[in-house]
Amino acid sequence: MNPFFQFESDFVDSLRCIPMIVRFKLDTCGVKLKLHQWNKFTESDRYQAIETPCGSEPEIRTYHDLLHQLVEQRTGEAATDLEIDPNPAWNHPNAIPESVTQKAETVGIEISLSQWAALEPIQRFVLIKLSRSTHENANFLPAVKEFNLV
């Protein structure tokens, strides 16, 4: 199974940006990984971050520790921990976040509640991340198309 989304195809060959699968895991385990830190990782490190599971409580702890270890080894810096949302919006199939609704409106589409509910949690995560005002939103519409919402 390919862990990358089609809209990420412009950078996944080089992995110069942090892919969504890793960003999802970072939010899950509560580690802030800065792009300059990611760029110090070896290719093997990056694939380890992509492929290491982060779903169960033991996996989340292991992933957290792995990221701390990699950041320290590759940068000499200490990784920063973030508060973990115990009830993140992407786990709510019956409530579309306002940021997603507003971003969809700006690109001329409407996402129905049934469409939102049919998405996998990682797909909802992606749309939430791509709809935030602090994110460069060029990939929102490609993601919506990839997820067959239009």
How crowded is the C-beta side of 13, counted as CA atoms within 13 Å? 2
Cβ(146)–Cβ(5) below 8 Å: yes
Euclidean distance between CA atoms 77 and 68, whole angstroms:
9
What burial letters (b/e) apply to 23-55, b meaning 16+ CB within 10 Å? bbbbbbbbbebeeebbebbeeebbeebbeeebe
Indicate the pLDDT class of residue 76, thresholds 50, 70 and 90. Answer: very high
Residue-wise pLDDT tens digits, 86-117: 999 999 999 999 999 999 999 999 999 999 99
CB 122 within 8 A of CB 21: yes
pLDDT tens for 136-146 read 668 999 999 99
148, amino acid identity: N
pTM for the model? 0.93
- State residue 11's pLDDT score: 84
pLDDT tens digits for range 7-53? 998 888 889 999 999 999 999 999 999 999 999 999 999 999 999 99
Q: Where are the domains of the chain?
A: 6-81, 89-146
Does position 1 have pLDDT exceeding 90, yes or no?
no
